[in-house]
Chain A
Amino acid sequence: MSRHHTAGTCRTTISNLGVTLGKNVILYDIDFTLNCGELTALIGRNGAGKTTLLKALLGEYSHTGTVAFHTPEGKQRKLRIGYVPQQINMEQNSPVTVYDLIAAFLSARPVFFGKKKDLARTIAAQLNLFGVEEHLDSRLCDLSGGELQRVMLALAVFPVPELLILDEPASGIDRNGLAILFQQLTQLKKDKDITILLVSHDLPLVREHADQVILLDRTILAKGTAEEVLNSRAFRDTFTYFAQSGVHC
């Protein structure tokens, strides 16, 4: 994999973004900038519109406003997005292996013909970057939450995207697995200069690893460094409300 740009010089700008589903305004007046080589954490209460914002960026929901990617030279071009979903649709007992999954995305040769040596080598090398190469032939349903998350990450950054989006990567992962994932994301943004946007509820890890934090509740309530946002009045109001109402974030 090669680096795209010099760190910090390319950026994705989201301007005046809004999403209305039916008659409900889900998001409005969303403005922020994501710099290459930086990790931005999206936090907020359940139902604040975090996943909707990600889906709007993924092009799944139509939105008002603009999403523009600017190269280090200032030129605007189409954004290539890598995505790690919150969960995958895989039942217990499903025979889909890690190879089958990744090969299905990378190759047109039907995976029911079996493994292709060259492709298997390429996939193993990619998995090796995230320490899960020994699971090439494992069934997805036999992986732990953390292993599955790293497999999905290996897929999301192959080929290397400009923007990597992760929707609540904590789902099904223990604390240790989540810490490893954050370390790998930090390494990834440094090595590959990728912009990372993730939804997270783990505030200590957000504080440790995020370059920018955005507090969302249908619109942006606060944004800045982790210290600025986590010490803001908007943050205290949001999380005090949830502490009182018994909802855990």
Chain B
Amino acid sequence: MEHLYSVLEILLPFSWIKYDFMKNAFLAVLLLAPLFSLIGTMVVENKLAFFSDALGHSALTGIAAGMLLGIAETTLATVLFAIIFAWLLNMIRRTRAAAGDTVISVFSSTAVALGLVLLSSRGAFAKYSTYLIGDILTIRPQEVGMLFAVFLAVILLYLAGYNRLLAMTVNMSLARTRHIPVRLLESIFIIVIAITVTVSIKWIGILLINSLLILPAAAGRNLAHNMKEYHLWALFFALASGISGLILSYYCGFATGPAIVLVGAAFFFLTHLVKNKSRR
């Protein structure tokens, strides 16, 4: 890690990079940006924005469940709970018992309420309230390492199955006729969303995590003419908002997560204007 720190100091001769917590946060942004932009494009194309938002909210119950079961590692508890939550939610969504967004909303509000009830009954809400907005400046080197492992796993999965996921997005029945294992891939994809969202929640926050997933993809979509451009733009906006949000928060004293999201939102509105202008 020391070597990496030295490289960062040489490449970025600015005052903000001198602190180790800024170096860690910067490395985390470099991993989170491609991770979230890659998953975000597929979430947006599949109209799963509400679904991923609900997964973020499930983290509160995950933390509470972990506390009740005596699981000391909060991230592990939230990830395990989010996987179960995502699987259940998707199973009910498949049965089409009610409109998809209604089911998701019911699950989302139940998870938030249950999490708040359990945490407040134990007097632990104040301790975990920082999870609502997160703090990327607290990320430790070993957590950057864990993020890197998740990043590698998602990249490998995407390289192996991206086209099949896209085929499923277009039409499930058509994908089935091409012998694509749609149920399996769908389950893997929602587990990937669940893991990515929940491992990052401590640093980005329950309230903001979905914005990081959606905004770069949504801004990229405004400018892209094909899937290559879509991913390049989404990656660019994720990196640009992540890095500039981090630097802005350092110099202006803002919370980092909200600063990143605000820059991302600015990119979205700008690209929206550009799109509308080019259509006239």
Main SS of the interface on chain A?
Answer: loop
8 smallest beta-carbon distances between A and B, as pairs: A95-B224, A114-B228, A110-B162, A112-B231, A104-B163, A104-B166, A95-B230, A100-B227
**Interface digits, B228-239 against A, CB 8 Å rule (1 contact, 0 not)?**
111100000000
Q: Which residues of chain B are near A99, meaning CB under 8 Å? A: 226
Q: Which residues of chain A are near B228, meaning CB under 8 Å? A: 111-115
Known: A94-B45, A95-B225, A100-B226. A58 touches B166 (CB 8 A): no
Would you list 6 pairs from A and B whose C-beta atoms are within 8 A, ordered by A residue?
A: A83-B173, A85-B171, A97-B225, A104-B163, A109-B163, A115-B228
B174 to A83, Cβ gap below 8 A? Answer: yes
B163 to A60, Cβ gap below 8 A? Answer: no
Query: Which of B159, B170, B173, B178 is within 8 Å of A55, CB to CB?
Result: B173
Quote the shortest CB–CB distance from A123 to chain B (angstroms).
Answer: 13
Kindly state the separation between the CA atoms of A95 and B229 in the bound complex, as whole angstroms.
8
Which residues from 77 to 101 on chain A have a C-beta closer than 8 Å to any C-beta of chain B?
Answer: 81-83, 85, 87-91, 93-97, 99-101
Query: Which of B170, B176, B229 is within 8 Å of A60, CB to CB?
Result: B176
Q: Which residues of B contact A (CB under 8 A)?
A: 41, 45, 47, 158-160, 162-164, 166-167, 169-171, 173-174, 176-178, 221-222, 224-231, 275
| Residue A74 lies at the interface, judged by CB distance under 8 Å to chain B | no
| Residue A59 lies at the interface, judged by CB distance under 8 Å to chain B | yes
A58 to B226, Cβ gap below 8 A? Answer: no
Kindly state the separation between the CA atoms of A64 and B177 in the bound complex, as whole angstroms.
20
Kindly state the separation between the CA atoms of A85 and B171 in the bound complex, as whole angstroms.
8
| Residue A227 lies at the interface, judged by CB distance under 8 Å to chain B | no
| Residue A1 lies at the interface, judged by CB distance under 8 Å to chain B | no
Q: Which residues of chain B are near A87, meaning CB under 8 Å? A: 171
**Interface digits, A132-168 against B, CB 8 Å rule (1 contact, 0 not)?**
0000010100000000000000000000000000000
Quote the shortest CB–CB distance from A153 to chain B (angstroms).
Answer: 12
A83 to B177, Cβ gap below 8 A? Answer: yes
Query: Which of A60, A114, A139 is within 8 Å of B173, CB to CB?
Result: A60
Quote the shortest CB–CB distance from B237 to chain A (angstroms).
Answer: 14
Main SS of the interface on chain B?
Answer: helix
Query: Which of B158, B226, B231 is within 8 Å of A97, CB to CB?
Result: B226
Known: A105-B167, A111-B163, A114-B228. A95 touches B173 (CB 8 A): no
Q: Which residues of chain B are near A104, meaning CB under 8 Å? A: 163-164, 166-167, 170
For B158, B169, B170, the residue with the greatest tally of chain A CB atoms inside 10 Å of its CB is B170
Kindly state the separation between the CA atoms of A88 and B230 in the bound complex, as whole angstroms.
20
Quote the shortest CB–CB distance from B63 to chain A (angstroms).
Answer: 34
B230 to A112, Cβ gap below 8 A? Answer: yes
| Residue A103 lies at the interface, judged by CB distance under 8 Å to chain B | yes
Kindly state the separation between the CA atoms of A94 and B275 in the bound complex, as whole angstroms.
13
A82 to B177, Cβ gap below 8 A? Answer: yes
Query: Which of A89, A96, A107, A110 is within 8 Å of B158, CB to CB?
Result: A110
A105 to B227, Cβ gap below 8 A? Answer: no
B171 to chain A: closest residue by CB: A85
**Interface digits, A49-63 against B, CB 8 Å rule (1 contact, 0 not)?**
000000100111000
B221 to A95, Cβ gap below 8 A? Answer: yes
| Residue A25 lies at the interface, judged by CB distance under 8 Å to chain B | no
A96 to B173, Cβ gap below 8 A? Answer: no
B170 to A90, Cβ gap below 8 A? Answer: yes
Kindly state the separation between the CA atoms of A244 and B177 in the bound complex, as whole angstroms.
39
For B45, B226, B228, the residue with the greatest tally of chain A CB atoms inside 10 Å of its CB is B226
| Residue A108 lies at the interface, judged by CB distance under 8 Å to chain B | yes
Q: Which residues of chain B are near A93, meaning CB under 8 Å? A: 221-222, 275
Kindly state the separation between the CA atoms of A99 and B227 in the bound complex, as whole angstroms.
10
Quote the shortest CB–CB distance from A87 to chain B (angstroms).
Answer: 8
For A96, A99, A103, A112, the residue with the greatest tally of chain B CB atoms inside 10 Å of its CB is A112
B163 to A96, Cβ gap below 8 A? Answer: no
B221 to A137, Cβ gap below 8 A? Answer: no
Q: Which residues of chain B are near A114, meaning CB under 8 Å? A: 226, 228
Known A89-B169, A111-B162; 17 more pairs at CB < 8 Å: A58-B173, A58-B176, A58-B177, A89-B47, A89-B171, A91-B47, A93-B275, A95-B227, A95-B230, A96-B45, A105-B167, A110-B158, A112-B162, A112-B227, A112-B231, A113-B228, A114-B226
